[in-house]
Structure 1
Amino acid sequence: MYSIQEKLDLLHNEIKEMGGIIDLDWCGKLLYTYYEHFNDNHPRYRAGSLLAFWGLLLDWEEESGFPFCTGIEEQDCHHFDKYLQEFLTYSSNIKKQYPNIYLAIVESLSQLDERDGWENEFPNIPSGLFNTARKKLLQNGVEKPSDDVYENVFREAEMPY
């Protein structure tokens, strides 16, 4: 069993090696329950876990992979409902502590919901969770991040590449 520290060190190395956060081995060597650390007392663990969530979303958004379990087949994958629920639970604190990470995640969530529809991708997740997310995160529109936001995401997560 790997610790969050070990997984974040591995993530940092993968980001440096790949030159970014897209197309990483999310369902292999980077498989971990990062959402459990969205409110961790250790700032690096909290920020690094949020960075991992954004990376998972980007893989889906860029269509380079689909790292989430759909409920149809079980395999080594991440549980979108758990990530979304934890993000919603701590979203106010995340927005204050890591405004760039927050903005990047919300923008990705918005793009994915518009393009694919969460209910279409995850038919086994109750739509109430999605409705809550839309109301809490997306109802007032989503600000399009500037290019420097993405650079600042890595700074906030203490993972420059």
Structure 2
Amino acid sequence: MPKVQFETIDELRQKIGQEVAVGDWMPVTQEQINLFAEATGDYQWIHLDKERAAKESPYGTTIAHGFLTLSLIPRLMADNLQLPPAKMTVNYGLNRVRFAAPVPAGKQVRPRITLLGIDEVTGGLQFNWKIQIEVQGSEKPACIAETLSRQYL
């Protein structure tokens, strides 16, 4: 699926309150989960021990860390949405985050991206996004987050 592209901020402003993109599916692998554990020091067995997870976990397999799922948002946004050019774009923060369902290792995820607002800030614009990360085959999204990003023009 091609990226959803916006040529101007005015074009984007017309989409406030609307879903602007549903992204492509992307796998979440056990290798990614293992590397995230290494990077963060979060070695909980539910993420790394396949045999124990198969026996003791309600999910029957290892699952991604919630914060790994959350950290995929910048990539999922960049892979599926192209905004008008800027000198620099930064993650500014989060307003609300919920982890509603697990992401089992080997499953695929995709974003549903809604533009909640655009505000002027010194030197640029601040975007408020609602991102739902869906898990293929799951009724509930894995993560629902309101994110803030800034573009400096």
Q: Is the shorter-chain TM-score for this pair beyond 0.5, marking a shared fold?
A: no
Please classify the TM superposition score into its range, dividing by the shorter chain length: under 0.3
Larger radius of gyration: 2
Structure 1 length-normalised TM? 0.22
Higher relative contact order (CA 8 A, sep 6+): 2
The structure with more strand, counted as a fraction of residues = 2
